[in-house]
Structure 1
Amino acid sequence: MQQKSHKLVSRLSYTFGAFGHDMFYATLSTYFVMFITSHLFDKSSGGTGAKMIFYISIIMTTLRIVELVIDPFIGNTIDNTETRWGHFKPWIVFGGTLGSIILAALFTDLGGLNVSNPWLYLILFAILYITMDIFYSFKDIGFWSMIPAISFDSKERESIATYARVGSNIGQNIVGVIVMPLVLFFSVNANNGQGDKRGWFMFAAVIALIAWVSAMVVAAGTKEIDSDLRKNTEKLPLEEFLVY
């Protein structure tokens, strides 16, 4: 009975983790661009606003390409992490915490810099976005790599993965359902159904909070198990990894 209870807690914890993780991703990948183009800079009038949107798009696109190069290094770093909490949990917790804080910050005008000093805004945006994206990658790789470490039983691992896919799909899709109701609920000015900066920030803060709580639930509700196979796996030092 206790073993069944532990399995259920692990499944539900990991499922909720996938739910919050993909709510975060959907918000960042889809609705952050909407916030930038509709509330921070006006691309229709040309000039500085259009340039800022262009530069922000370049930063985001370039980082997607760079991720293809750095993800193997991140995976190697996670695999070589040795803590009392295991390989994965420290990155899930730290990446989830830092990522959530920065996500909320990105859904602001950074103290009005988008108007008073757009170029400084762009510099700070680049620093924040790159930092968040790197630690999101640590969390993402750590989270999805954790499944084999939760259970020795292949059927149980399949069950956990199935639960997680359900949580992930719900998390991605529910954002599209709640985004505008939340934005308008928190907005002072409805702005013809688009909401205002306050509404968008509060929407991002709610998503960030859910993502953070879900990361903490994964850390608290799952237990990483070291198998003999994983212990005997040869770890590749970074300098050798670079050569290969």
Structure 2
Amino acid sequence: MELTLKQKTAFGIGAVGKDMVYALSASYVMYYYQDVLGLSASFVGVVLMAARFFDAFNDPFMGILVAKTRTRWGRFRPWIFSGTLLNALVLYALFAAPVLDEAALMVYFSVVYILWGVTYTMMDIPYWSMIPAVTRTPKDRENLSMVGRTCAGVGSALIAMFTMLLVGILGGDSERAGFRWVALIVAVIFAVTELVCCISMKETTPQ
């Protein structure tokens, strides 16, 4: 049986939400911690670089965990759902930093940003790895991958177009407050879109 329009739409909706989260972090975390909160650019850069180094080990480890997973809900959806909830919470924490002195803020940013990367990987790897488990033909797999990539671009574009506009509207004179509200909105959208994806995508082929 070929993929239905509902399934393709649900997978695409999932890609929109998860790439909104990724784009918000990738595009604005340095601005938020450097320009809004006042940490040094060199320190923020070191944390970002360390996180990429950590991902080189975290990504394959997550792939192994997913490959060994066996549940009544399938192999991938439990990770997508749990990773989404955790990542949404960490995303909000990332852009809702409490008022701290410089040293404490450095520790806070380092810990929360690493956690953001870990929890994002928890849902991102199984999201893309799920494609062969919900499709039966190479054509379906190619189509679903194309839907995911296209909708991911939509999610990134939404962040690029509206983030600073919403920061100004919601935060007024306080960019700190504006980013907190934007992160909350994106986190909620993320949770809803991945829930739609998990409900609609059924694993039908053995891996």
Using the size of structure 1 for normalisation, the TM-score is: 0.80
Corresponding residue number in structure 2 for 1:186 = 170
Determine the C-alpha separation between the residues in 2 that align with 1:173 and 1:157: 24
The structural deviation recorded for 1:127 is 2.1
Structure 2 letter corresponding to 1:172: S
Listed as ranges, the gaps of 5+ residues in structure 2 are: none
Counterpart of 1:60 in structure 2 is: 48
The AA in structure 2 aligned to 1:77 is L
* Aligned counterpart for 1:199 among listed residues 170, 174, 178: 178
Residue 105 (structure 2) aligns with: 121
Alpha-carbon RMSD across the aligned residues, in angstroms, is: 1.6
How far apart are the structure 2 equivalents of 1:109 and 1:145?
33
* Structure 2 letter corresponding to 1:16: I
After the TM superposition, list the runs of 4 or more consecutive aligned residues in structure 1 that deviate by more than 6 angstroms.
none
1:15 maps to 2:12? yes
- Give the letter aligned to residue 203 of structure 2: E
Match status 1:217 vs 2:181: no
Q: Is the 8 A contact 1:104 1:208 kept in 2?
A: yes
The one-letter code of the counterpart of 1:211 is F
Secondary structure in 2 aligned to 1:225?
coil
Q: Is the 8 A contact 1:9 1:222 kept in 2?
A: no
Greater relative contact order (CA < 8 Å, ≥ 6 in sequence): 2
Helix, strand or coil for the counterpart of 2:4? helix
Q: Is the 8 A contact 2:51 2:113 kept in 1?
A: no
Alignment of 1:19-30 (within 5 A): 19-30=16-27
Matching residue's letter, 1:79? A
User: In structure 1, what residue type is equivalent to 2:163?
Assistant: V
2:97 alignment partner in structure 1 = 109
Q: Which runs of 5+ in 1 are unaligned?
A: 42-48, 190-194, 231-244
2:81·2:194 contact (CA, 8 Å) conserved in 1?
yes
Kindly provide the CA deviation profile for residues 31-85 of structure 1, in whole angstroms up to 9, marking residues without a partner as x: 11111122100xxxxxxx43xx432321221110221122111101111011111
The TM-score with structure 2 as length reference comes to 0.93
Q: 1:123 Cα deviation (Å)?
A: 1.8
Point out the more displaced range, 149-158 or 96-105: 149-158
Pairing partner for 1:171 from 134, 148, 155: 155
CA distance in 2: counterparts of 1:134 and 1:36, whole angstroms: 20
Are 1:89 and 2:59 matched, yes or no?
no
Aligned to 1:145: 129
Q: State the identity as a percent.
A: 29
